[in-house]
Amino acid sequence: MSQESGGNGTEPKVEDVVIIGSGPAGWTAAIYAARARLDPLVVEGAPSREMIPGGQLMFTTEVENYPGFPEGRDGQQLMMDMRAQAERFDTRIMTEDVVELDPSERPFRMKTSGGKEIRARTVVVATGARANWLGLENEERLAQAGGGVSACAVCDGALPPFRDQVLAVVGGGDSAMEEATYLTKFAREVVIIHRRDTFRASPIMAERALENPKIRVAWNSQVVEVLGDDFITGLVLEDTETGETRELEVGGLFMAIGHTPNTAFLKGVVQLDEKGYIQTPEAWRTRTSVEGIFAAGDVMDDYFRQAVTAAGTGCMAALEAERYLAHEAPAEAGSEIPAEPVAHEG
């Protein structure tokens, strides 16, 4: 951990690159920045009820679609591998949240949840997004225990416990349509549970789902209870018009009710879209509306939301930060940035 990032009244060391967040985007950015000898500091996040360092993969059991692991990899293990790889190149890690980022000063000034102050010439924001949940007690417990409740059908749907089962998908947007259609490859039947009588999804995606013989819809329904001790066995549904309740037997529950990007500390700092995602105005670039601040991973992408795409944008952000430091950043006494970006392959 950085000994120089202050908090005791002394002016902190000016970091070249501070990476906020510790999912695939953050660790990939760290690996690239460290190998470019930028001595990155990763502020990996403080554990809380909603989020733990490592991000959403920490809640995923088996990751089968991250290339390089033909037998799959446990989500937590994959994140520990990425962290260890960043540490191997001397990445420094601070287990706190950034709660404030002041873009008006250069170097940028940040405050952490532990009261520390950090100064940085460039910042890579990779704080991710969190899946929205219904907030039911058993939903959270079973999701954390690998008990058949998930917010990512693409990550978990193909796992053995879900095969040939009746699976429920909650939501009426494009994600719910896509996830339900995907799950029909493995499930006996998929029930989309939607709280209204029309979908929010685009007509083409809705049509595709509705035409699938393995999919049926529970309209005007919401889940009010998740049943099961070690593994989900069913749901209690409430009719949103009549208030009547009924039970539905299921062997898996997939939430598709949207995501919330972790950008509360960035309001008024960089440009966000109406849902709170960081905007990166140029295609194939991770630059934000503020020079020197880059964004990577799910915090700037509500479309792909995959570990591998997050890692890709983490790489892009580190390379862009490196090039920015070498060619564009305001010069400062004592800065030891390589004049040209160093070679990265191998």
53 belongs to the binding site for ligand NAP (CB under 6 A): no
Identity of the residue, 208 or 285, whose beta carbon is nearer to ligand NAP in the bound complex: 208
Identity of the residue, 112 or 181, whose beta carbon is nearer to ligand NAP in the bound complex: 181
Q: Find residue 169's DSSP bridge partners.
A: 192, 254
Binder among 7, 161, 234, 258 for ligand NAP (CB under 6 A): 258
Binding part of the chain for ligand NAP, among 137-145, 164-172, 211-219, 285-293 by CB under 6 A, reads: 164-172
Encoded amino acid at 144, one letter: Q
Closest by Cα among 125, 97, 109 to 294: 125
Long-range pairs, 182-185, Cβ under 8 A, ≥24: 182/153, 182/154, 182/157, 183/153, 183/157, 183/254, 184/212, 184/214, 184/215, 185/157, 185/158
d(CA 167, CA 59): 19
d(CA 303, CA 298): 8
d(CA 61, CA 297): 20
Site for ligand NAP in 120-149 (CB under 6 A): 134
Binder among 54, 107, 147, 172 for ligand NAP (CB under 6 A): 172
d(CA 266, CA 97): 12
Residues tagged active-site: 152, 155-156
Residue pointed to by tokens 């690996």:
31
User: How many CA atoms are closer than 13 Å to the CA of 307, on its beta-carbon side?
Assistant: 28
> In the bound complex, what is the minimum distance in angstroms from residue 295's beta carbon to ligand NAP?
17
88 belongs to the binding site for ligand NAP (CB under 6 A): no
161 belongs to the binding site for ligand NAP (CB under 6 A): no
Task: Tell me how far apart the terminal alpha carbons of the chain are, to the nearest angstrom.
Answer: 27
Cβ neighbourhood burial of 323 (10 Å; 0-12, 13-18, 19+): middle
Binding part of the chain for ligand NAP, among 30-38, 56-64, 157-165, 194-202 by CB under 6 A, reads: 194-202
150 belongs to the binding site for ligand NAP (CB under 6 A): no
Binding part of the chain for ligand NAP, among 75-83, 195-203, 230-238, 245-253 by CB under 6 A, reads: 195-203
Largest CA distance in the chain: 70
Helices 24-35 and 307-327: crossing angle, nearest 10°? Answer: 40
**Does 261 sit behind a cis peptide bond, omega within 30 degrees of 0 on the bond before it?**
no
d(CA 121, CA 231): 48
64 belongs to the binding site for ligand NAP (CB under 6 A): no
Distance of CA 145 to the CA centre of its chain: 19
> In the bound complex, what is the minimum distance in angstroms from residue 284's beta carbon to ligand NAP?
19
Strands 117-125 vs 108-112: parallel, antiparallel or unpaired: antiparallel
178 belongs to the binding site for ligand NAP (CB under 6 A): yes
Identity of the residue, 51 or 176, whose beta carbon is nearer to ligand NAP in the bound complex: 176
Residue pointed to by tokens 């105005």:
281
196 belongs to the binding site for ligand NAP (CB under 6 A): yes
Identity of the residue, 161 or 258, whose beta carbon is nearer to ligand NAP in the bound complex: 258
d(CA 346, CA 98): 32
The tokens describing 261, both together, are 């990007």
> In the bound complex, what is the minimum distance in angstroms from residue 308's beta carbon to ligand NAP?
17
174 belongs to the binding site for ligand NAP (CB under 6 A): yes
Binder among 130, 163, 195, 323 for ligand NAP (CB under 6 A): 195
Site for ligand NAP in 284-303 (CB under 6 A): 302-303
Binding part of the chain for ligand NAP, among 58-66, 119-127, 171-179, 206-214 by CB under 6 A, reads: 171-179
Site for ligand NAP in 214-253 (CB under 6 A): 222
Site string for ligand NAP, 197-216 (x = CB under 6 A): ---x----------------
Site size for ligand NAP (CB under 6 A): 18
Which positions touch ligand NAP (CB under 6 A)?
134, 170-176, 178, 195-196, 200, 222, 256-258, 302-303
